[in-house]
Structure 1
Amino acid sequence: MGPQPGQKTVLITGCTPGGIGHALCLEFHSKGLHVIATARNPSVLADLGALGMTTLPLDVTSPSSIKTCHDQVSALTNNKLDILVNNAGRTHTHPATDIDIDDVRETFETNVFGVMAMCAAFSDLLINSKGLIINIASLAAITPYVFGSVYCASKGAVVSYSRTLRLELKPFGVRVMVAMTGTVRSQIASKTHRTLPEGSIYQRVKEIFEKRLTFSQNNATVKTEDYAKKLVANALKPEWPLILRSWFGRADWFWAGGWSKGVWASTFFGEWILDFVLYRLIGLKKMEQVLREEERKKKLA
């Protein structure tokens, strides 16, 4: 069943149950929008389909899959799309000195190139409706999230890309919101994680790395549905002039999730604050202690 006459539409990527995308589908649906939920395997979206949402297969790393989805959405919505939410993403926790470049490329294919490809492919439908693009970024884009250098780099790229995209699409009436997302409950803790290679210099503090793997699920973590309610409420606010936007209308920069307020506040004082906090919070002071002890033993040998 497609949208009703006059009903606004929203396409969301990465809508597997348990994640932000799925929660956003339910929240936008509750606000009266026609939701187009997507996932690589649309069979996992049966509960959303049962509620009247459109469910489509979509792999944001596949040009042919994106084109097929675009054509299906265009036919469904009469060549218009009001909101595009680029939520599909891939976690990547590994020390910078242990990364596998092919693995890194896969992360960038989803987190960065997938976002770029979706914006380019659906720009015509968004221009037709003077719509809104919401790119789900992360606090990791501006924080030294220890053992997350690849993930931080991918989300940093999304932030920089979105800032420029916002200006390029402004003449066409298309707006761009960047969601600076903190710790939010998801299925990340249940996924298969990367492991330290045998020769890693961090084997000395293996327990710190293993604790870091699920950090986002155990530190000021916000419920997925609460995050979704805040984002949707903000996205549906009216447009205001730039200088007033952050206080009254839809924000260009949406900050929510665990740690978001603290990280936002830190941006006024310099990066040294986050460097200081993250270094100690993750536990790298212990690495210093281990290395000092190794040096002491060498001198005594």
Structure 2
Amino acid sequence: MASEKKTVLITGCTPGGIGHALALEFHSRGCHVIATARNPDVLKGLAAMGMSAVQLDVTNQDSINAARDEVSHITGGKLDILVNNAGRTHTIPALDIEIDDVRQTYETNVFGPMFTIKAFAPLLIAARGLVVNVSSISSISAYIFGSVYASTKGAINSYSRVLRLELKPFGVRVMVAMAGTVRSHIASHPHRALPATSLYLPVNDYFQRRLVFSQNNATVPTDVFARKLVSAALRGEGYLGGLVGGTPDWFWAGGLSTKVWLLSFLPAWMSEGIISMFFGVAGLKKRLTEAREKQS
């Protein structure tokens, strides 16, 4: 049934993640939250609190279409906010990637949001709504061993810029959330291992630390990040065509986000040099060189 509350659909609401925290925060602000996940069983706790729970696999077009039809029935044909949060981490050296693994990450992180937005566009247009695409500071920083993940978020950034212009005539806004390090379950999934042929085996200990980097470096609690994002999303259209007081086009929050934002104003060679020092690339080079010399 249609409601006077703002309606918010969030993808990827598995407990312990950013989507779950966002659902709780939007709900606490009086919004009608439509929580989604591939496995609807994980949404029972949110449903018990009064939220709508809908099955949605963003990599499956039939699932997207079915979710759209169900949401349209729930909301009366309108959707105020769509949060594309569902994501897949991908940490592995660029020289060790596997094509099927990379494709799966792109299906989730890039094609998923694209086709979810396409399906829900009529509901967003009817509400003069907002699209929130969750990106990452890794999309504009040289995040070592994160070439695949960073490139998917870079694609979302570029896609969102164009989408913002194309949806403007219909009154729909687009906010990109440039998330820094945030406490999440995304790094708790089974990790990739360096293959036996990897050139980086001599620094496997470094790689192991990199796998959980986002959870051990200036990491912000999930609920803190959620409060900031929800506050920004609920600002609305603002005044003077959105120039004053409205939801920002770009939202920065999470650990290290301010530092990366400042780095974005520097020439690429300079920012990459600073990031190289941050990740200790000179030390990696020394260790890898020594390992190769021992083998020769």
TM-score (normalised: structure 1): 0.94
Output the CA distance in 1 between the equivalents of 2:253 and 2:285.
Answer: 33
**Partner in structure 1 of residue 206 of structure 2:** 208
Alignment of structure 1 residues 37-186 onto 2, 5 Å: 37-186=35-184
Aligned in 2, Cα 1:42/1:185: closer, same or farther, shift over 3 Å?
Answer: same
Q: Percent identity?
A: 57
SS of 2:187 mapped into structure 1:
helix
RMSD, aligned α-carbons: 1.6
**Partner in structure 1 of residue 251 of structure 2:** 254
Output the CA distance in 2 between the equivalents of 1:181 and 1:150.
Answer: 17
Post-superposition shift, 1:140?
Answer: 1.0
Q: Residue 203 of structure 2 contacts residue 288 of structure 2 at CA under 8 Å; is this kept in 1?
A: no
Could you report, residue by residue, the CA deviation over 1:120-149 in whole angstroms, capped at 9, with x for unpaired residues?
000000001110000001101101100000
Could you report, residue by residue, the CA deviation over 1:146-204 in whole angstroms, capped at 9, with x for unpaired residues?
00000011000000000000000000000000000000000133210000000100011
**Partner in structure 1 of residue 17 of structure 2:** 19
Output the CA distance in 2 between the equivalents of 1:31 and 1:294.
Answer: 56
Could you report, residue by residue, the CA deviation over 1:39-80 in whole angstroms, capped at 9, with x for unpaired residues?
011111111111100001100000000000000001111111
Q: Residue 82 of structure 1 contacts residue 130 of structure 1 at CA under 8 Å; is this kept in 2?
A: yes
**Partner in structure 2 of residue 29 of structure 1:** 27
Q: Residue 240 of structure 1 contacts residue 250 of structure 1 at CA under 8 Å; is this kept in 2?
A: no
- Alignment partner for residue 266 of structure 2, among 258, 265, 269? 269
TM-score (normalised: structure 2): 0.95
SS of 1:22 mapped into structure 2:
helix
Q: Residue 227 of structure 1 contacts residue 257 of structure 1 at CA under 8 Å; is this kept in 2?
A: yes
Output the CA distance in 2 between the equivalents of 1:151 and 1:292.
Answer: 27
Task: Give the unaligned 5+ runs of structure 2.
Answer: none
**Partner in structure 2 of residue 240 of structure 1:** 239
Task: Give the unaligned 5+ runs of structure 1.
Answer: none
